[in-house]
Amino acid sequence: MALIELVGIERVFHLGDTEVHALSKLDLVINDGEYVAIMGQSGSGKSTLLNLLGMLDSPNEGVYKLEGIDVTTLTPDEQAKIRSQRIGFVFQSFHLVPRLTAAENIALPMMLAGIPAVERARRVDKALQDFGLDKRSDHRPDQLSGGQRQRVAIARATIMQPAMILADEPTGNLDRATGEEVMHLLEGLNASGVTLLVVTHDPVLGARASRQLVMEDGKLITDKNNSASSSPTLPD
Amino acid sequence: MRGADIFRFARAAATGYPLRTGLSVLAMAIGVAAVVVLTALGDGARTYVVSQFSSLGSNLVIVLPGRSATGGFSPANAVTRTPRDLTIDDAVAVLRTPAVQRAAPLLVGTSEINFSGRLREVLVAGTTLSYFQIRGLKALQGTLLPDDDWNRALPVAVIGVKIRDEVFAGQEAVGQFIRLGGRRVRVVGVLAPSGQGVGFNADELVLVPVALSQAMFNSNTLFRILIEAKSRDHIEMAKRDVAALLKTRHSGEEDVTVITQDAVLATFDKLLVALTAAVAGIAAISLAVAGILVMNVMLVAVTQRTGEIGLLKALGARAATIRQAFLAEAAVLSIMGAVLGYGLGEFGAFAIRTFYPIFPAYPPAWAVIAAVVTSLTTGILFGLMPASRASKMNPVEALMKH
């Protein structure tokens, strides 16, 4: 089943009097449960595509259907609701709120969604266990290592049980070993059924995905599906 | 997002930046404290004046020579510019009206007191025994003025306690002869310390029989007639009767003014309430300034937390939620400022009361409520613009600024 359907997407930025086509005539279908790497040089439009998929940005033209709903016609509040319930974001620079503890950061999406505190505490406790953060729940981000911070961010992205996770260079600020650990975690989530989209400029990282999209000047130039491994094999 | 969560989030955000928050809270607190302290002073002044007037005597009606009330133009007023004297006989006659309990003629002038070479300028009040009764003055030593014919000028004097200390310097005063404006007068009594009084302080007063003072100051007219009505309900009746009586005695001319202490009190009360309100208004300007500071702080907060706003949007926060969160933060700053300011203000008022126990500096409830409400309103009003700016931020651009 198609989770994402993009048809004829155009995204134009105006820099002074020059028009920059960040995305042009983009068509794309991503199915439920896929593991997709979006690759390309900086400026190729991969981040714009990710923002668009996360409804942080809107196309100038074209149709974006998420789970069959044309989301470009929704009001900002309706889009916010879909972001809250269906989409989890993981950022390169973690984007944790510095004054909140790990547990509070994880609970933030639930708080915004108006979930009662008791239910929040229950789910946060489980997430802290699942992500190996149970001893770090009262730590603020500046008391956590990079890997722990990104684990908190991933816990936060998954706490609302979204349909897809959009990860923008999730290992960009981490050393090799920690990056490997974080990718392992994300791939584990994908194995459990969550659609995973990873933006990266690292070909090695991109090669792990079951499907690689390569972008250049706002267009898709490669769409390679490693159909051999429809469900990704996890390295030990 | 739930209300309690918005408040908790805003509080955490405010306390997350202690210096910035502290300064704006301080500004708001100073504004609120200024209102509380200044209105405490104003209201204290009012209470003080009112209580001092009350200490002049109860159920008081006062007769002044001359027509001061504006009764419109009448030919009689135009022809006779000089009022008739208010005489001792007028005071005696007043005693015969039914609503009057006591009456005391009063004539005031300054003179020089001299005892064995020690001189000082004093205020001399010519009056009768009834004056002491109306004002509740007691003798510390000796007696009060004799209960005598009001027209007899006995050469006796009752002196205030401060005059005794200064002029007699520890010697026995009662029975001594002093020179008062060139006359030889015997001191018959010393007044008990009376505390402060409006107009003149009885501690620094020399009291002599009214007829003697008339001779000393070469004057036939009285300064005042103080009248004590039989009860509170008799005040208006006494005022009316006395005015009518004196009009008859003065050949049908209304050439005296009769006022009640209540009227004087009401005037002072009104005046000082207005003064307090004006002072509160001036202090409230500082609240507006504090409100602008809160806005500035909130604008800085919005700029500083741009990345966080982008994140909240990515996590599914609606624009309204972000607006509420920042408004709540402005409200938290204002609430903390208001509470701290109220505490500071009450402490200031307490300090004033401690150092000047005579001065009842209690902030009136209306001023406290007005100060707190104003601080909250300005804080939230000035928080509106930054909050709306935060809610309208483009999430992609906001997320890039981290």
Cα nearest neighbour of A99 on chain B: B16
Provide mean pLDDT across the span A9-27.
90
* Alpha carbon distance A132, A129 (integer Å): 5
List, as one string, the DSSP characters of B268-309.
Answer: HHHHHHHHHHHHHHHHHHHHHHHHHHHHHHHHHHHHHTHHHH
Q: What is the pLDDT of residue A227?
A: 55
- Return the domain boundaries, chain B: 3-53+266-400, 107-223
Closest Cα of chain B to A88: distance in Å?
7
The partner residue sitting opposite A114, judged by closest CB among B1, B16, B307, is: B1
Does the pLDDT at position B75 exceed 80? no
Q: What is the pLDDT of residue B68?
A: 59
CA atoms within 13 A on the CB side of A187: 21
The partner residue sitting opposite A51, judged by closest CB among B315, B317, B396, is: B396
Residues in chain A: 236
| Confidence grade of residue B49 (pLDDT, cut at 50, 70, 90) | confident
**Contact between chains at B316 and A83 (C-beta distance less than 8 A):** yes
User: How much is the pTM?
Assistant: 0.71
Does the pLDDT at position B199 exceed 70? no
Closest Cα of chain B to A26: distance in Å?
20
| Pick from A12-21, B76-85, B344-353: least confident | B76-85
Does the pLDDT at position B388 exceed 90? yes
Joined tokens for residue B120: 């000082």
Q: What is the pLDDT of residue A231?
A: 46
Instruction: Tell me which residues of chain B, numbers 114 to 133, contact chain A at a CB-CB cutoff of 8 Å.
Output: none
The partner residue sitting opposite B16, judged by closest CB among A89, A99, A112, is: A99
The tens digit of pLDDT for each residue in B255-309 reads: 888 888 777 788 888 888 898 889 888 888 888 888 888 888 889 989 988 999 9
Q: Where are the alpha helices (DSSP H) in B56-148?
A: 75-79, 88-94, 129-135
**Contact between chains at B308 and A89 (C-beta distance less than 8 A):** no
B-chain CB neighbours of A54 within 8 Å are 314
Is A215 within a domain? yes
Q: What is the pLDDT of residue B45?
A: 87
**Average pLDDT of chain B?**
86
Task: Please report where in the chains the tokens 């309990």 appear, as a residue.
Answer: B101
B-chain CB neighbours of A116 within 8 Å are 2
Q: What is the pLDDT of residue A236?
A: 47
Closest Cα of chain B to A70: distance in Å?
18
3-state SS, one letter per residue, for B156-216: EEEECHHHHHHHHCCCCCCCCEEEECCEEEEEEEEECCCCCCCCCCHHHEEEEEHHHHHHH
- The pLDDT > 70 percentage for chain B reads 93
* Alpha carbon distance B101, B148 (integer Å): 18
Q: Where are the alpha helices (DSSP H) in B16-128?
A: 18-55, 75-79, 88-94
Is A20 within a domain? yes
Look up residue A33 and give its DSSP letter: T
The tens digit of pLDDT for each residue in A22-61 reads: 999 999 999 999 999 999 988 888 989 999 999 999 999 9
B-chain CB neighbours of A108 within 8 Å are 312, 315
| Confidence grade of residue A8 (pLDDT, cut at 50, 70, 90) | very high
- Tell me, yes or no, if B400 comes closer than 8 A to chain A by beta carbon: no
Helices B319-355/B3-15 angle, 10° precision: 60
B386 contact partners, CB below 8 Å, separation of at least 6:
B295, B298, B299, B301, B302, B326, B330
Is A236 within a domain? no
- The total domain count for chain A is 1
The tens digit of pLDDT for each residue in A51-81 reads: 999 999 999 999 999 999 999 999 999 999 9
Is A106 within a domain? yes
| Confidence grade of residue B20 (pLDDT, cut at 50, 70, 90) | confident
Q: Three-state DSSP class for B80? A: coil
Tell me which residue of B150, B144, B132, B136 sits closest to B213, measured CA to CA: B150
Q: Three-state DSSP class for B115? A: strand
Is A235 within a domain? no
Q: Domain residues for A111? A: 2-229
| Pick from A213-227, B37-51, B195-209, B263-277: least confident | B195-209
Higher pLDDT residue, A143 or B60? A143
The partner residue sitting opposite B316, judged by closest CB among A80, A116, A117, is: A80
| Confidence grade of residue A9 (pLDDT, cut at 50, 70, 90) | very high
The tens digit of pLDDT for each residue in B150-159 reads: 988 899 999 9
Q: What is the pLDDT of residue A234?
A: 45
The partner residue sitting opposite A109, judged by closest CB among B9, B315, B320, is: B315
Picking from A23, A57, A84, A95 by the largest number of B CB atoms within 10 A of its own CB, the best residue to mutate is A95
Q: What is the pLDDT of residue B315?
A: 93
Does the pLDDT at position A230 exceed 80? no
**Contact between chains at B313 and A80 (C-beta distance less than 8 A):** yes
**Domain of residue A86, CATH code:** 3.40.50.300
Helices A117-130/A146-158 angle, 10° precision: 130
Cα nearest neighbour of B393 on chain A: A56
C-alpha distances (whole Å) from A202 to each of A184, A188, B237 are 16, 20, 104
**Contact between chains at A108 and B395 (C-beta distance less than 8 A):** no
| Confidence grade of residue B200 (pLDDT, cut at 50, 70, 90) | low
**Contact between chains at B12 and A99 (C-beta distance less than 8 A):** yes
Does the pLDDT at position B79 exceed 70? no
- Tell me, yes or no, if B398 comes closer than 8 A to chain A by beta carbon: no
**Average pLDDT of chain A?**
90
